[in-house]
Structure 1
Amino acid sequence: MNPADTFRALHHDRPPGDPLVLPGPWDAVSARVFAEAGFPALSTPSAGIAASLGYADGETPAGEMFAAVARIVRAVDVPVSADLENGYGLAPRELVERLLETGAVGCNLEDSDAGVLLDPHRHADRIAAVRAAAGDRLFVNARVDTFAHGDGDPERAVERAALYVAAGADCVYPIGAPADVLPILRAQVPGPLNAFARLDGESPSPCELGALGATRVTFGPWLQRRAAAHLGELAARLGQG
């Protein structure tokens, strides 16, 4: 079984309420912390990596993003999937080759650009081209930005998700979907469903999201931002005696 198939298998035959929880490392240190905590795989957040490199979200040059992903992959012995935003304008074959060079086993690809939704049929064609270039060597998580940058209509999200799954996506990620919409998406979207979680005491927990239909749970840049806030609290205490 190749590494991508190992990662792919983690998404299947999961009982309700037991989603695959994938912390998002932003550097080698955070990756080791998550791996040593026993998580079977990791999924990098583009915004978290951007912050660690001194960039605003969406402004990291492709070369620096691939280099950061490679450092994370080298630091751990578990599969790592990478958030590649909307692919940096790279042709599908080049995108696949550069990602495979990092050692990553999968990627997120979003269907918006600068906050504007892309044509879903053209994006599905791009996913199909990525799948053709990658074969079974990469797990493709297709982000659906209907709730983040569209009108939030669940049916539009379902339509986009269905196109992407038909094009070869292994999983769909309706980022920002309200918790009460997850059962609707679960009932109509074939294959694994990725949900976004915050550990803020108010939002649903990963297990609760799993019970609502999520196959896997990721955190975007939330963990990096939480760590940065904690570091700020420690910095404020320095030199206080």
Structure 2
Amino acid sequence: MSRSIAEKRAIFRTLHEQGCFVIPNPWDVGSARYLQGLGFKALATTSSGFAWSLAHADNTVSRDMILAHLRGIVAATDVPINADFESGYATDAEGVAQSVRLAVETGVAGLSIEDSTGDAGNPLYSIDVAVARLQAARRAIDSAGGDTLLVARAENFFVGRPDLDDTIARLKAYAQAGADCLYAPGISTRAQIAAVVAAVAPKPVNLLVGSASELTVQEIAELGVRRISVGGALARSAWGGFMRAAESLAEGRFDGFATAASGQQLNGFFSVPSST
């Protein structure tokens, strides 16, 4: 069946209100359609995975390219899509608002805004500036109808400032600024996760699991997390298989193809019309 944008957004909000769900990160239309086919109820884009598919490093893809990517993923799928919208493709609040308006127009059900600056010497916006940027994003969403979910990311652990107290202070401020879901990529221990969940309750928390973890989905759910994303991990896994096969080929061997998916399997999957 074909769902409207409004229906996808309503479904997405409902997912955040009950239990815990996994929201994997495709990097192109094919991977998005495959994940949808596995039964995942929502998907999230990955800025890094998309960038690598274009031979770019993460955080070097233009806003226009990202917007086109979002439109393609939304059009190709029938589940809610959350946009990895980096830092809003602007430094000032009004610029963030403009970018968010454009992102909402692509039909995404949610989008995340980071508080990272891209400056290695000063990697995080001050809390006041970060809050102003999120408030601008909130106003832009509300002016468009308010049904797109706003996710606020505290990037402390990703930019080399692993201060849990500051992370929590930021997330609490972002919740008060209008964020619907809070996200601190890089936290990984039970104590860190539980502290973040408790600090922003009852608002939902997204946990990034981007590498092999001893925690299971059930255990993460028991800590109070509402959604689990994997960032660029699936894209990196695909690249890992490709790199190993390509390197063996460069050395004159073909053993790297041993674990390749069959063409029959892929053709069979993609010959079936998209549905949920």
- 8 Å contact 1:197–1:204 — kept in the other structure? no
- 8 Å contact 2:44–2:81 — kept in the other structure? yes
Q: For 2:113, which of 109, 113, 122 is the aligned residue?
A: 109
**1:5 corresponding residue in structure 2:** 10
**1:216 corresponding residue in structure 2:** 227
Which protein, 1 or 2, shows the higher relative CO under an 8 Å CA cutoff with sep ≥ 6? 1
SS in 2 for 1:127: helix
C-alpha displacement at 1:86, in angstroms? Answer: 0.2
**1:29 corresponding residue in structure 2:** 30
**For the residues of structure 1 that align with 2:112 and 2:194, how far apart are their CA atoms?**
22
Q: 1:112 to 1:199 in 2, by over 3 A?
A: closer
Q: How does 1:94-105 map to 2 (within 5 A)?
A: 94-105=98-109
**For the residues of structure 1 that align with 2:68 and 2:216, how far apart are their CA atoms?**
32
C-alpha displacement at 1:211, in angstroms? Answer: 2.1
Letter in 2 for 1:208: E
C-alpha displacement at 1:72, in angstroms? Answer: 1.1
Q: Is 1:152 matched with 2:153?
A: no
Q: Is 1:121 matched with 2:134?
A: no
Q: For 1:178, which of 164, 182, 188 is the aligned residue?
A: 188
C-alpha displacement at 1:230, in angstroms? Answer: 1.6
Q: Is 1:138 matched with 2:177?
A: no
Q: Specify every segment of 5 or more residues in structure 2 that has no aligned partner in the other structure, as ranges.
A: 1-5, 256-276
Letter in 2 for 1:173: Y
- 8 Å contact 2:154–2:183 — kept in the other structure? yes
SS in 2 for 1:177: coil
**2:270 corresponding residue in structure 1:** none
Letter in 2 for 1:233: R
- 8 Å contact 2:245–2:254 — kept in the other structure? no
**For the residues of structure 2 that align with 1:198 and 1:46, how far apart are their CA atoms?**
14
**For the residues of structure 1 that align with 2:238 and 2:254, how far apart are their CA atoms?**
21
**For the residues of structure 2 that align with 1:112 and 1:154, how far apart are their CA atoms?**
16
**For the residues of structure 2 that align with 1:166 and 1:3, how far apart are their CA atoms?**
25
**For the residues of structure 2 that align with 1:220 and 1:198, how far apart are their CA atoms?**
6
**1:227 corresponding residue in structure 2:** 238
Q: Percent identity?
A: 33
- 8 Å contact 2:8–2:79 — kept in the other structure? no
**2:208 corresponding residue in structure 1:** 196
**For the residues of structure 2 that align with 1:46 and 1:240, how far apart are their CA atoms?**
32
Q: Specify every segment of 5 or more residues in structure 1 that has no aligned partner in the other structure, as ranges.
A: none
C-alpha displacement at 1:153, in angstroms? Answer: 2.4
C-alpha displacement at 1:2, in angstroms? Answer: 4.8
SS in 2 for 1:91: helix
- 8 Å contact 2:18–2:226 — kept in the other structure? no
Number of positions where the alignment pairs a residue of Structure 1 with one of Structure 2? 236
Q: 1:146 to 1:93 in 2, by over 3 A?
A: closer
Segment drifting more, 99-108 vs 2-11: 2-11
- 8 Å contact 2:113–2:152 — kept in the other structure? yes
